[in-house]
Copies of this chain bind each other. A is one copy, B any other.
Amino acid sequence: MTGPDTPRLLLDRPRLEANAARLRARCAELGVAFRPHFKTPKSVDVLRAAHGGIPGPVTVSTMKEAEAVAASGAATDILLAATAIPARIPRAEALARHHGTRLLLVLDSAEMTGLVDAAASAPHDVLVEVDCGEHRAGVPPKAALPIARAVHGSRHLRLAGVMTHAGHSYATDDIQKIADLAETERAAAVTAAEAIRAAGLPCPIVSVGSTPTLLYARHLHGVTEARAGIALLWDLAQHSRGMCTWDDLALSVLSTVIGHNRSGMSLILDAGALALSKDVSANSFAPGTAFGALADAATGARLPLQLGTVHQEHGTVPVPDESWFARLPIGSTVRVYPNHACLTAAGGYGAFDVLDESGATTSRWPRVDGWH
A112 within 8 Å of B (CB atoms)? yes
A119 within 8 Å of B (CB atoms)? yes
A111 neighbours in B (Cβ, 8 Å): 260, 329-331
Which residue, A62, A86, A136, has most C-beta atoms of chain B within 10 A?
A: A136
Selected from B137, B260, B313, B372, the residue in CB contact (under 8 A) with A259 is B137
Interface size on A, residues (CB 8 A): 66
A119 neighbours in B (Cβ, 8 Å): 2
CA distance in complex: A285, B277 (Å): 22
In the bound complex, do residue A62 and residue B261 qualify as a contact, i.e. CB atoms below 8 Å apart?
Answer: no
Q: Given that A3-B87, A91-B5, A343-B273 are known contacts, is A109 also in contact with B314, CB under 8 Å in the complex?
A: no
Please choose the segment from A19-27, A181-189, A240-248, A345-353 that sits at the chain B interface, where 4 or more of its residues have CB less than 8 A away: A345-353
In the bound complex, do residue B270 and residue A85 qualify as a contact, i.e. CB atoms below 8 Å apart?
Answer: yes
Instruction: List 20 A-B residue pairs with CB atoms under 8 Å apart, sorted by A's residue number.
Output: A2-B89, A3-B86, A5-B85, A61-B313, A85-B270, A87-B256, A109-B330, A111-B331, A112-B259, A115-B330, A135-B264, A136-B268, A136-B311, A137-B259, A137-B261, A137-B314, A167-B311, A273-B343, A278-B278, A350-B370
Q: How many identical chains are in the complex?
A: 2
Q: Which residue of B lies closest to A84 (CB)?
A: B258
CA distance in complex: A118, B350 (Å): 30
Interface string of A251-295 (1 = CB under 8 A from B): 000001011110110001010011001110000000000000000
A112 neighbours in B (Cβ, 8 Å): 258-259, 330-331
CA distance in complex: A88, B256 (Å): 12
A207 within 8 Å of B (CB atoms)? no
A224 within 8 Å of B (CB atoms)? no
In the bound complex, do residue A258 and residue B86 qualify as a contact, i.e. CB atoms below 8 Å apart?
Answer: no
In the bound complex, do residue A331 and residue B115 qualify as a contact, i.e. CB atoms below 8 Å apart?
Answer: yes
Q: Which residue of B lies closest to A261 (CB)?
A: B135
Q: Which residue of B lies closest to A4 (CB)?
A: B87
A316 within 8 Å of B (CB atoms)? yes
Interface set of A (CB-CB < 8 Å, partner B): 1-8, 39, 61-63, 82-83, 85-89, 91, 108-109, 111-112, 115, 118-119, 135-137, 140, 167, 256, 258-261, 263-264, 268, 270, 273-274, 277-279, 311-314, 316, 329-331, 342-343, 346-351, 369-372
Selected from B268, B349, B372, the residue in CB contact (under 8 A) with A370 is B349
Min C-beta distance of A21 to chain B, whole Å: 25
Which residue, A5, A8, A61, A86, has most C-beta atoms of chain B within 10 A?
A: A5
Min C-beta distance of A122 to chain B, whole Å: 15
Q: Given that A278-B343, A343-B312, A348-B346 are known contacts, is A86 also in contact with B136, CB under 8 Å in the complex?
A: no
